[in-house]
Amino acid sequence: MHGWNWVHSYTGLPRPFFSRVQPAQVPAPRTVFWNQTLATELGLNPDAFPPEEVAAQLSGNRLPPGTDPIAQAYAGHQFGHFTMLGDGRAILLGEHLTPAQHRVDIQLKGSGVTPYSRRGDGKAALGPMLREYLISEAMHALGIPTTRSLAVVATGETIYRETPLPGAILTRIAASHLRVGTFQFAATLDQPESLRALVTYTIHRHFPAAAQADCLALALLENVINRQAELVAQWLAVGFVHGVMNTDNMALSGETIDYGPCAFLDRYHPDAVFSSIDHAGRYAYARQPSIAQWNLARFAETLLPEIDPIPERAIELARTAVETFAPQFQRAWLLRMRAKLGLQIPEAEDQILIQTLLRWMTETGVDFTATFRNLTFHLDSATAQPPDRDFGAWLQSWRARLRRENVPSDQIRQRLHRANPRFTPRNARVEEALAAAHHGDLAPLQRLLRVLARPYDEHPGDEGLAEPPPDGGVGYQTFCGT
Ligand code: AMP
Ligand code: MG
C-alpha cells in the first residue's frame, strides 16, 4: 500500500478549465531527490517507495492507480501583458487527501506537452528543478507558506535550451494551483455560470469559513487580499525576491509558487533585482507589495459580475477591498520587522526605528541576513563596537526601546534568533551546489538542504554557508527556469 488517497474535485469544474492529458513516457527515470519527511507528512508509506518506485511513479511512466491527469487552463499578465497560458509543462495527477484530511494537488512539472504548450517542449531541465526543490523546501523551513517539493526524477532524456541539458521532473505539492490567472481565464469565457462555479469552488477549497458570506465573490477577494498581504510581508522579512510576480504566478491559497528566477538579498537594497529579463525592475525587492496589489486589482476585475450586477456598485466594492491591501500589508510588515528587532509591544515610533535602520543599511550596503542575525552581538554596548557612528546612534535608540519591552536580555536574544535566520539560500552557494550537481556530485546540495531545513539554528562546521559574499553579491543574475 502506497498510501495515495486520490480524489478529484477540480475535474468537476466546467470543461474549459482543464484538458485531460497523459504524461510523456521517459527513457530512463532515476530518482535524484525524494523528500521522505514530506512523504510521511502526506501519509505516504515510505517503505512502499524504493528509488525505482519513486522514479516509475513520479516520472509519469507508471502512474499510481486512481490518478486522473489533467492540464489546467489559465491566463495571466506577464510583465504587464495579458496572455492566454495554461499548464504548458505541468500535469496535475489529481488531489491527494492526507490522513489529516488536507487536500493537496500532486503535480508533475516537466512531463511533456499539453494543449497549452504553445511552442514549448513541455519539458524541464534538471538544474532549475533542483533549484525549485531546494528553495521551496528552504522557504517552508523559514516558516513561509509555499508549494513543496516531493521529488526530483531525472528522465534520462536530453532537452535542448541554449545548450543540451539533462531533463527532469519535479513533483510539486500545493494547497491548489488556483491562481489569479485562473480567474482571468474564467473572465475571458464570458460564461457567468463558469465564473460562479469557480468562485464557489475556490471558497470551499480555501476559505470554507466564508462559505456563508452574503457575497461569495467579495469574500473571496477579501480573503485572497489578506493572504497576499501576509505572504509578501514574510518575503520581505527574509529578503526574498520572487522575480516573476506575473498574475499566473500568484496562488490564491497564499502560497509562494513558481521558483523560476527568484533570489535572496545579500547586500541590502530596496531596488534589488536579479532576474535577467526584469529590465525595468518591475519585480524589485521593495516593489513586491505594490505589484501584489496591482495583481489583486486584476483579480478583482475578474470578479466584478459576481460582486454586483450594477457595474458601478461592483467597482466601488472591489476598489474598497483592493485598497485595504496596503494597510494590511503595512500591519503585517510592521509585525514581522518588529519581531526582527526583538520587539513585541507596539509603539508608535517603531516604524521610524525600522526605517532608520533600513536607510542605514541601504547607504552602507551591508548584508541583509547577517545584519539582523548579528544584532544579538550588539545587545550590550560593552561587547561590540558598531561599524560607524550612524549605526552606533541607531543602536542606542534600539537599546533604549528594548528596555521598554521589560524582559531580560536572554529573552530578547531568543526572540531575535527566532525571527532572524542564520541561514538563507545564499545565491552563490545555491549556484555552486547546482554546478556540482550538474557534474554528478550531489553532496553540496544535500548539505545545503540539511542546513536550510533548520535555518534558525547554528550549524557548527557549516558556518561558511551563512557567510555573505565578499562583493555583496552585486551583479548576480537569475534566468527563467524554462
Ligand atoms: P513560468 O515562467 O514557469 O510561470 O511559465 C509561464 C508559462 O509558460 C506557463 O504557461 C508554462 O506552462 C509555460 N512553459 C514554460 N516552459 C515551458 C516549456 N518548456 N514547454 C511548454 N510550456 C512551457
Ligand atoms: Mg508559472
Q: How confident is the model at residue 384 (pLDDT cuts 50, 70, 90)?
A: confident
Strand 103-109 and strand 90-97: the pairing is antiparallel
What is the number of the ligand 1 atom nearest to the C-alpha of 85? 10
Q: What is the pLDDT of residue 225?
A: 99
Each residue's pLDDT tens digit, 440-474:
999 999 999 999 999 999 999 999 999 999 999 98
Q: Is 468 exposed, middle or buried (0-12, 13-18, 19+ CB in 10 A)?
A: middle
How far lies 253's CA from each of 12, 331, 423, in Å?
Answer: 19, 20, 26
Q: Which of 82, 89, 245 to mutate to test the pocket of ligand 1 (most atoms within 8 A of CB)?
A: 89
Q: Give mean pLDDT, residues 176-194.
A: 98
Residue 295 has pLDDT above 60, yes or no: yes
Q: Which amino acid is at 399?
A: R
d(CA 176, CA 178): 6
CA of 219 to the centre of ligand 2 (A): 25
CA dist., res. 216 & res. 340, Å (int): 36
Q: Kindly state the cell numbers that stand for 294.
A: 496591482
- Nearest residue by C-alpha to atom 22 in ligand 1: 88
Question: For atom 16 of ligand 1, which residue has the closest CA?
Answer: 482
Position in ligand 1 atom list of the atom nearest CA 121: 20
Cell digits of residue 420: 532572524
Centroid of ligand 2 to alpha carbon of 411 (angstroms) = 42
Ion ligand 2, residues whose Cβ is below 5 A away? 249, 258
Partner residues linked to 167 by β-bridges: 125
80-109 mean pLDDT: 98
Structure confidence at residue 385 (pLDDT): 84
Q: For 110, left (φ over 0), alpha (ψ -120 to 50), or beta?
A: left
Q: What is the mean pLDDT of residues 214-229?
A: 98
Average pLDDT, the chain: 97
Could you give the CA distance from residue 175 to residue 180 in angstroms, rounded to a whole number?
15
Cell of 302: 475578474
Instruction: Please tell me the distance between residue 446's alpha carbon and the centre of ligand 1 in angstroms.
Output: 27
Mean pLDDT, rounded, for 264-268: 98
Q: How confident is the model at residue 387 (pLDDT cuts 50, 70, 90)?
A: confident
3-state secondary structure of 280: coil
Which grid coordinates belong to 90?
A: 505541468
The reported pLDDT for the residue numbered 19 is 98
Q: Which residues line the pocket of ligand 1, CB cutoff 6 A? A: 85-90, 117, 120-123, 244, 248-249, 258, 260, 480, 482
Cα of 101 vs centre of ligand 2, distance in Å, is: 27
Is the pTM above the cut of 0.75?
A: yes
- Burial zone of 272 (CB within 10 Å; 0-12 exposed, 13-18 middle, 19+ buried): buried
Return d(Cα 137, Cα 446) in angstroms, integer: 12
pLDDT level of residue 481 (50, 70, 90 thresholds): low
- Which atom of ligand 1 is the closest one to the Cα of 122? 20
Amino acid at 287: R
In percent, the amount of the chain with pLDDT more than 90 equals 96
Q: 5, 11 in Cβ contact below 8 A? A: no
Residue-wise pLDDT tens digits, 410-427: 999 999 999 999 999 999
Pairing of strands 240-241, 263-264: antiparallel
Tell me, what amino acid is at 317?
L
Give the residue carrying C-alpha cell 478529484: 8
pLDDT at 199 over 60: yes
**19 touches 70 (CB < 8 A):** yes
Q: List the Cα angle 70/110/451 in 5-degree steps.
A: 120
Q: What does the alpha-carbon distance between residue 292 and residue 361 come to, in Å, rounded to a whole number?
A: 24
Of ligand 1's listed atoms, the one at least distance from the Cα of 90 is 12
121 is catalytic: no
Out of 172, 247, 482, give the residue to mutate to test ligand 1, the one with the largest number of ligand atoms within 8 Å of its CB.
482
CA gyration radius, the chain? 23
CA of 116, nearest ligand number: 1
The answer to whether the CB of 305 falls within 8 A of the CB of 193 is no
User: Which residue has cell 509519469?
Assistant: 60
d(CA 4, CA 44): 6
The CA-to-CA distance between both ends of the chain, in Å, stands at: 35
DSSP 407: S
d(CA 170, CA 115): 20
Q: Which ligand is nearest to the CA of 147?
A: 2
Predicted pLDDT of residue 138: 98
Closest-lying ligand to the alpha carbon of 243? 1
**Which residue in 87, 121, 214, 248 is the catalytic one?**
248
Rounded-to-integer distance, Cα 101 and Cα 90, Å: 25
- The model's confidence at residue 480, banded by pLDDT at 50, 70 and 90, is confident
Distance CA 26, CA 175 (A): 27
Instruction: Give the whole-angstrom CA distance, residue 291 versus residue 421.
Output: 26
* pLDDT the model gives residue 1: 63
Q: How far is the CA of 108 from the centre of ligand 1 (A)?
A: 13
CA of 281 to the centre of ligand 1 (A): 21
